[in-house]
Chain A
Amino acid sequence: MTLPLPANIDECITLLRKGNYVGDRSLATTLFLSLKMGRPVFLEGEAGVGKTEIANVVANVLDRSLIRLQCYEGLDVASAVYEWNYQRQMIEIRLTESHGSVAQEELEENIFSEKFLIKRPLLRSLEPDTRGPPVLLIDELDRSDEPFEAYLLELLGNFQITIPEFGTVRADEPPIVIITSNRTREIHDALKRRCFYFWLDYPDAARERDILALKAPELSDGLSAQVVAFVHEVRKKDLFKKPGIAETIDWAKSLHTLDRLELDRESIESTIGILLKYQDDIALIKGSELGNILSSIGAERKISPSADS
Chain B
Amino acid sequence: MKSNGGRHQGKLASNIMHFGRALRQAGLPIGTGQVIDAVEAATHTGLRSREDLYWALHGLFVSRPEQRMIFEQGFHLFWRRPELLERLRHIDLSSIYLPQNTESSKAGSRRLGEAMAIAHVVMDQKQPDKVDNQGGASYREVLGKRDFDKMGVDEIAEAKRVIKNMPLPVAERPTRRYKLNRRGVVIDAQASIRASLRGGGDIMQLRFRRRRWRPSTVVMICDISGSMSRYSRLLLHFAHALANHRAQVHAFVFGTRLTNITRYLRQSDPDVALENALEAVDDWSGGTRIGASLHCFNHEWSRRILGEGATIVLITDGLERDVGIKLSTEMERLQKSCRRLIWLNPLLRYAGFEAKSYGVRAMLPHVDDFRPAHNLESIASLSHVLSEGSPAVPPK
Give the B-binding residues of A (Cβ under 8 A).
8-9, 25-26, 29-30, 32-34, 36-37, 39, 41, 44, 73-74, 76, 78, 83-84, 86, 89-90, 93-94, 96-97, 101, 104, 107-108, 111, 145, 147, 165, 183-186, 189, 192-193, 196-199, 238, 240, 280
Contact = CB atoms under 8 A, between A and B. Distances in A.
B55 A29 contact: yes
A256 B29 CA distance: 48
A189 B304 contact: no
Given A86-B190, A89-B193, A93-B201, A33 B44 contact: yes
B381 interface: no
Contact of A196 (B46, B59, B190): B59
B190 A108 contact: no
A32 to B, nearest CB: 8
B193 A84 contact: yes
Contact of B44 (A36, A89, A90, A93): A36
A30 B55 contact: yes
Interface residues of B, number: 43
B262 to A, nearest CB: 11
Interface string B298-335: 11000111000000000000000000000001000100
Contact of A90 (B29, B65, B193): B193
Interface stretch (B32-40, B101-109, B369-377, B387-395): B32-40
5 contacts: A29-B55, A32-B44, A33-B41, A145-B177, A240-B298
Contacts of A183: 65, 304
Contacts of A165: 194
A192 B64 CA distance: 9
B299 A240 contact: yes
Interface of B: 29, 31, 33-34, 37, 40-41, 44-46, 51-52, 54-56, 58-60, 62-65, 68, 175-177, 189-190, 192-194, 196-197, 200-202, 298-299, 303-305, 329, 333
A34 B60 CA distance: 10
A184 B56 contact: no
A204 to B, nearest CB: 16
A8 B41 CA distance: 12
- Contact residues of A: prevailing secondary structure: helix
B56 to A, nearest CB: 6
User: Which A-B residue pairs are the 7 nearest by beta carbons?
Assistant: A74-B176, A196-B59, A29-B55, A93-B201, A192-B63, A30-B59, A86-B189
Contact of A184 (B45, B52, B304): B304
A189 B67 CA distance: 13
A36 B40 CA distance: 10
Contact of B34 (A9, A86, A111, A193): A193
Contacts of A78: 190
Given A37-B40, A107-B200, A29 B52 contact: yes
A185 B55 contact: no
Given A193-B31, A199-B65, A107 B197 contact: yes
B40 A104 contact: no
Nearest to A194: B33
Given A73-B176, A86-B189, A44 B31 contact: no
A108 B59 contact: no
Contacts of A37: 37, 40-41, 44
Nearest to A30: B59
A9 B52 contact: yes
A25 B46 CA distance: 14
Given A86-B193, A185-B304, A104 B200 contact: yes
Contacts of A94: 201
A33 B45 contact: yes
B177 A76 contact: yes
A248 B358 CA distance: 41
A186 B304 contact: yes
Nearest to B325: A238
B177 A74 contact: yes
A145 B267 CA distance: 24
A175 B64 CA distance: 25
User: Chain B CB within 10 Å — which of A101, A165, A197, A238 has the most?
Assistant: A197
A152 B71 CA distance: 28
Contacts of A184: 303-304
Contact of B59 (A84, A93, A97, A197): A197
A197 B29 CA distance: 14
A31 to B, nearest CB: 9
Nearest to A102: B200
A84 B197 contact: no
Given A26-B55, A97-B202, A193 B63 contact: yes
